[in-house]
Amino acid sequence: MEGIRSPAVAGSFYPGGTAALTAMVSGLLADASAAEPVHRAAPPKALIVPHAGYIYSGATAARAYAGLAAARQVIRRVVLLGPVHRVAVRGLALPGVARFATPLGEVALDQHAIAAIRDLPQVVDSAPAHAHEHALEVQLPFLQSVLDDFKLVPLAVGDASPAEVAEVLERLWGGPETLVVISSDLSHFLPYATAQQTDRATALDILALKPTISHEQACGGTPVNGLLLAARRHGLQPRLLDQCNSGDTAGDRQRVVGYASFSFAPETSDAGA
């Protein structure tokens, strides 16, 4: 497998220059760590993070990524799923390249892990589905900043069932060396107060591990639902880390987009600590 998937939204969704991007991500992570120091005994197995431009949802995403600090030398594989926004696809699409590039460098794809899912009928190749897709790309600078050395399994999710997503995740689940990241925003283009109400209800469904999230509730509803099925199977406990919408960050309040970040970790017995 050869080829590099070049960044498509550098300079628009996030800074296109290496120094500016490094400074922005470092600042977002520092603010997130200061807002809530990491205290969880077990590092997260999975995250749900938003994928808007960093001025809109970067702080919310950083709240999830800051929690990976203790596992930066442990995590060696990131299974990254997000919805397609521009090119329709049936199933879960691989990009057909060897590496993804950002202004912070290149990330190699995990060809061994990819080989383990190739026989599944819902796994397909689609370079066009990845070429201009922002949902996966915007997560990479955060991952490159908080992890030491990792390989990537990027899947652009189109028309698929939650069970099909969960089946792929099960193949790739692994142990503490594998992190699952689901890229999804919440409601789109509702008035501020309506969005708050809608997104609160969605967050409660996610915290209850209800795999019934619609695309009106979350653009990444399909991969979110697949994760919720897998989380139930593996006994993971979800935690809401941060929630807001574009009316709180960098947009008007007439038509907002909702954002939230969640972590999923094994249940611990130190609740009273």
In a domain, 32, yes or no: no
Determine how many CB atoms are found less than 10 A away from the CB of residue 90.
12
In a domain, 267, yes or no: no
Residue carrying structure tokens 């142990």: 175
Q: How far apart are CA 252 and CA 230, in angstroms?
A: 37
Determine how many CB atoms are found less than 10 A away from the CB of residue 73.
9
In a domain, 262, yes or no: no
- Whether the model pTM is above 0.85: yes
The tally of domains found in the chain comes to 1
In a domain, 85, yes or no: yes
In a domain, 219, yes or no: yes
Beta strands 92-94 and 123-125, pairing class: parallel
Residue 208's domain spans which residues? 40-190+197-253
Q: How far apart are CA 60 and CA 63, in angstroms?
A: 5
Q: What is the SS3 assignment for 155-201?
A: EEECECCHHHHHHHHHHHCCCCCEEEEEECCCCEEECHHHHHHHHHH
pLDDT in tens, the chain (273 residues): 689 999 999 999 999 999 999 999 999 999 999 987 655 557 899 999 999 999 999 999 999 999 999 999 999 999 999 999 999 999 999 999 999 999 999 999 999 999 999 999 999 999 999 999 999 999 999 999 999 999 999 999 999 999 999 999 999 999 999 999 999 999 999 999 999 999 999 999 999 999 999 999 999 999 999 999 999 999 999 999 999 999 999 989 999 999 999 999 998 644 433
Q: How far apart are CA 121 and CA 134, in angstroms?
A: 25
Cα separation of the two ends of the chain: 48
In a domain, 261, yes or no: no
Q: CATH no. for residue 104?
A: 3.40.830.10
